[in-house]
Structure 1
């Protein structure tokens, strides 16, 4: 008993590494956004995409190993990691699996929070870029019904004419 559980533990460690790498890449992206180094944002997004692309295969491997552990421990197939923790044959395996779950859950929470912050900063960077481009060369102001710029028009946020 224990070979499958050991393999599962090693796989969980690999997934933890992937989650930590994803968090690192999100922090890297956040630093680029905070310092205005927008030139490298695409590369950071590509790297995040590569890490995200590795996650489904890692999850499938984990699920297969968890199924093997379930068989070895005499519990129904399809048992979740939380279920395996509850039925672990020793305190040591309970602690090991609970440790993986705790760290992975914490990393997932951090990733979700960082992702929200970065998405908001990306929207802000896009808006600033669009406003900057709009201000290059062509004077802005009010627009007529056909979409043309009204030269010499007063730009207003609200139409105060009655």
Structure 2
């Protein structure tokens, strides 16, 4: 374990943040195009990306704690603290590049999640028949309920895309 392993873990996390960003943008584009039949699939894609990021965050935490111990810092050191304690050589610059890239990805992710939530909230779903469903209306009502459920699921998954532990590791609020 060492700074090289930490850098590799940060690259992996960056890759998975990019994938999550891609999945969110794909979902929004499908919704904006009216392709609501794909909403269940896109919500699953976003959910898988969020779940994978939890694993990547754990891997990063393990590598970061090892580097922090090696460099005389507490295990919960932020990336800014690691950069400050890094020995002379390439590591301060490499870690600073990760800091900037991860901060940028977090901002993009926040913007994308906000855009998705706004797009999903403004959807106009067809109303159910006022007289109650007749035999001919049952299939249409089922489709409406399925779409409404998929919209709610997509909203719930979108709200889970925030990465507060990563933001904390980066050193809190950065612009």
- Normalising by the smaller structure, the TM-score range is 0.7 to 0.9
Q: Gaps (5+ residues) in structure 2? A: 132-175
Distance 2:40 2:67 in 1: 41
Structure-to-structure mapping, 1:96-135, within 5 angstroms: 96-125=94-123, 128-129=124-125, 132-134=126-128
Higher RCO structure, 1 or 2 (CA under 8 Å, sep 6+): 2
The equivalent of 1:39 in structure 2 is 37
Which structure has the bigger radius of gyration? 1
Give the TM-score taking structure 2 as reference length: 0.70
Structure 1, unpaired ranges of 5+: 139-162
Once the 2 structures are TM-superposed, how far is the Cα of residue 79 of structure 1 from its aligned partner?
1.4
Task: Report the number of matched residues.
Answer: 132
* TM-score (structure 1 length as normaliser): 0.76
1:36 Cα deviation (Å)?
Answer: 0.7
Indicate whether 1:5 and 2:41 are aligned: no
Cα deviation, residue 91, structure 1: 4.4
RMSD: 1.7
Q: Per-residue displacement from partner, 1:78-97 (whole Å, max 9, x unpaired)?
A: 21111001111124101111
Q: 2:15 matched to 1:17?
A: yes
Aligned to 2:73, what secondary structure does the other structure show? coil
Structure 1 distance, partners of 2:73, 2:23, is 38
Give every structure 1 segment of 4 or more consecutive aligned residues whose post-TM-superposition deviation is greater than 6 Å: none
Q: How does 1:64-83 map to 2 (within 5 A)?
A: 64-83=62-81
Q: Could you say which residue in structure 1 is the equivalent of 2:48?
A: 50
